[in-house]
Amino acid sequence: MSVDQKTVRRIAHLARIKVAEEDVPRLEGELNSILHWIEQLNEVDVAGVEPLTSVVAMKMKKRQDVVTDGNYPQDVTRNAPAAEDEFFMVPKVVE
Amino acid sequence: MTSLTSLTISAARGGLKKKSFSARELTDAYLAAMEKARILNAYVVETPDKARAMAEASDARLAKGEAGALEGIPLGIKDLFATKGVHTQAASHILDGFKPTYESTVTSNLWRDGAVMLGKLNMDEFAMGSSNETSYYGNVINPWRRRNSNAALVPGGSSGGSATAVAAHICAAATATDTGGSIRQPAAFTGTVGIKPTYGRCSRWGIVAFASSLDQAGPIARDVRDAAILLKSMASVDPKDTTSVDHEVPDYEAVIGKPIKGLRVGIPKEYRVDGTPPEIDALWDKGAKWLKEQGAEIVEISLPHTKYALPAYYIVAPAEASSNLARYDGVRYGLRVPGDDIVSMYENTRAAGFGREVQRRVMIGTYVLSAGYYDAYYVRAQKVRTLIKQDFDKAWDKVDVVLTPATPNPAFAPGEITDPVQMYLNDVFTVTVNMAGLPGISVPGGLSAEGLPLGLQLIGKPFDEATLFQVGHAIEEAAGKFEAPKWW
């Protein structure tokens, strides 16, 4: 499988990365060279093989559904590029 | 008296206990050496005030006879570990100005044991790279150079700052992380020892996530004993990381020097890759010979799916990265580049904040996870991963440990490899270990014809890091230690 320039633009948008029009051909080439190299996986017979979900055979850890952390909103918003009264500030999203 | 920065952790530990020097003197010696070595670009941030305060606290504890296992030992910390109030950016522009309000579990364990932080170490951006050329803070320079040459070489990646700092003696040892080879490959390129422990051995809490099912923290150190001392402190069982495994941390140092007689060492025939330089294969043969001479039994084994590990990795790792890196959107931390609306703000921020390699991998990951391609790419790769793990499971019936080269080549020059796939191939010998969640150590084995360090890799059974330290030490005894001639 390979990607065309239209697909490159679509992936970039899905990934929320602005790609300049002049960079699209370069990305098309780079992504296709990686995708073609990955295609050698098609040689492997994977019939009846379960996908790996955990490298360590262990039961998923569970804990009591109780609050163990929190109550420091100032710490949570301290690194925000824009914050006010312990809220994250974003551009207007609703008209 | 020899210079304080030339001491290993075990030697410094002894000197501090005997009061031959203070923790403050040791830290000051490192801070002075760091200043002189800035040309290597190993540190993105130096924290001298914090280091001196921590060293003085260590001296107080030493005086009271309350020394921890790493009391007064000055360490460098990879920029991927969250350190409270201190620059933590994964060497990326998108985390511009980020100073966490919390401390990672691994670094908390180190400070609990009395270690001193010298600063944050350079790395490939978000740990994506094999040459430390993708850092927002510029290339790290390897202290090693080719014989009769002044040309700069890369230290490997992604833990290039960690490896360079250890090799150049501007920290006693360093923390690092390994997703596809990021501890072992730079260790091999710099003549240092690096171990990636079993997945689940070190807590991932507070480490900037790249590919969550593959990421593991581990140390880079000057010798095998130091790596064992450091891993003992870094490893823990952590309720904050659900993939942290309930497994007691053994005293790794206790196995150093234990005879290897009777151990079965596997040599996987699939690691003889076409195009590998003869000196790499020769070193591998030499390594097997050393272990045989010390009484180990050499057994040829087969790991038939080895060649598929790297392409499968380049589906799994970017897929997980595209998901993990979705959080960098200009809202909660780091860089924000304004746009006409919220979506263009996201897009502008991520375009300006991520470097080229990170953008490439996020896009590959987005593509292989997108509607209609998920089964063909991601599910197939995870099936191949099962086969890779089964190869090792079968091998463990026949052998106790596996010996391979660490890398297919010694350090190269910046700019020498520009094709992404060619760069990815540097991890061909290390990546299988991450795919199977196993522990792997890189130990210096010798020098190339051009005088550059080459590493040997040992792969162990899950949670059998002790055998890696035991056999790694046997290699070290036979090969000797290698130090870069000082030019900086």
List domains and CATH numbers for chain B. Answer: 4-258+467-479 (3.90.1300.10)
pLDDT at B12: 98
pLDDT at A14 (0 to 100): 97
Helix B48-63 vs helix B9-17: crossing angle, to nearest 10: 50
- Give residue-wise pLDDT tens across range A71-95: 999 999 999 999 999 999 999 888 7
Residue of A nearest to B313 (CA): A38
pTM score of the predicted model: 0.97
- In whole angstroms, give the CA distance from residue B439 to residue A17: 36
Task: Say if residues B140 and B161 touch (Cβ distance below 8 Å).
Answer: yes
DSSP string, B380-422: HHHHHHHHHHHHHHHHTTT-SEEEEES-SS----TTS--SHHH
pLDDT in tens, A22-47: 999 999 999 999 999 999 999 999 99
Taking the C-alpha atoms of residue B388 and residue B268, their distance in angstroms, rounded to an integer, is 13
Q: What is the CA radius of gyration of chain B?
A: 21
B362: CB partners within 8 A, 6+ apart: A15, A17, B318, B321, B322, B325, B354
Instruction: Return the beta strands (E) in B210-361 as ranges.
Output: 216-221, 264-268, 297-301
Q: Are B122 and B79 in contact (CB under 8 A)?
A: yes
- Quote the ipTM score: 0.96
pLDDT number for residue B2:
62
Helix axes B356-369, A24-38, angle to 10 degrees: 60
Q: 3-state class of B457 per DSSP?
A: strand
pLDDT in tens, A42-65: 999 999 999 998 888 888 888 899
Which of A13, A56, A80 is the closest to B331 by Cβ?
A80
Q: Which long-range contacts (CB under 8 A, 24 or more apart) does A9-14 make?
A: A11/B363, A11/B366, A11/B367, A11/B370, A12/B363, A13/B347, A14/B366, A14/B370
Residues of chain A in contact with residue B363, where contact means CB-CB under 8 angstroms, are 8, 11-12, 15, 17, 27, 31
A1 reaches B (C-beta below 8 A): yes
The verdict on A24 touching B (C-beta cutoff 8 Å) is no
Question: What's the pLDDT score for residue B1?
Answer: 45
Rounded Cα–Cα distance for residues B324 and B337 (Å): 20
Secondary structure class of B298 (helix, strand, coil): strand
Task: Check: CB of residue B212 under 8 Å from CB of residue B324.
Answer: yes
**What distance in Å separates the CA atoms of residue B93 and residue B91, rounded to the nearest whole number?**
7
| In contact, B315 and B381? CB cutoff 8 Å | yes
| A17–B351 C-beta distance less than 8 A | yes
Q: How many CB pairs under 8 A join A and B?
A: 162
A88–B347 CB contact, under 8 Å: no
| B453-460, strands of its sheet edge to edge | B43-46, B116-121, B74-78, B173-178, B216-221, B193-196, B440-447, B453-460, B401-405, B264-268, B297-301
Structure tokens at B17: 């206990």
Chain A residues touching B383 at Cβ < 8 A: 44, 46, 49-52
Q: Which residues of chain B have pLDDT under 70?
A: 1-2
DSSP lists the bridge partners of residue B264 as B297
Give tens-digit pLDDT for B118-133.
999 999 999 999 999 9
Q: How far is B85 from chain A (nearest CA, A)?
A: 11
For B385, name the nearest residue in chain A, comparing CA atoms only: A52
**Encoded amino acid at A32, one letter:** N
Distance of residue A34 Cα from the nearest chain B Cα, in angstroms = 6
Residues of B serving a catalytic function are 78, 158, 182
Measure the CA–CA gap between B230 and B210, rounded to whole angstroms: 23
Strand partners, B403: B458
**Nearest-CB residue to A16 (from B242, B338, B350):** B350
Residue type present at position B104:
S
Strands B116-121, A87-88: pairing is: unpaired
Q: Tell me the C-alpha distance between B474 and B294, whole Å.
A: 8
Angstroms from B167 CA to nearest CA on chain A? 32
Q: Are the beta carbons of B196 and B218 closer than 8 angstroms?
A: yes
Alpha carbon dihedral A11, A17, A20, A21, in 10-degree steps, equals: 20
Q: Give A14's contacts in chain B (Cβ within 8 Å).
A: 366, 370
Of residues B239, B332, B341, nearest to A88 (C-beta)? B332
Query: Which residues are B43's β-sheet partners?
Result: B121
Out of A17, A39, A63, whose CB is closest to B350?
A17
User: Scanning every residue of chain A, which has its alpha carbon at the shortest distance from the alpha carbon of B324?
Assistant: A15
Residue A25: φ, ψ to 5°: -60, -40
Spatial neighbors of B395 by CB under 8 A, at least 6 apart, are B266, B268, B301, B302, B303, B402
A29-88 residues touching B, CB cutoff 8 A: 30-31, 33-35, 37-44, 46, 49-56, 58, 60-61, 63, 72, 75-82, 88
Question: Does the N-terminal peptide bond of residue B158 adopt cis geometry, omega within 30 degrees of 0?
Answer: yes
User: What single-letter amino acid sits at A9?
Assistant: R
CB spacing of A15 vs B362 below 8 angstroms: yes
Nearest CA of chain B to the CA of A1: how many Å?
A: 10
- Position A93 scores a pLDDT of 86
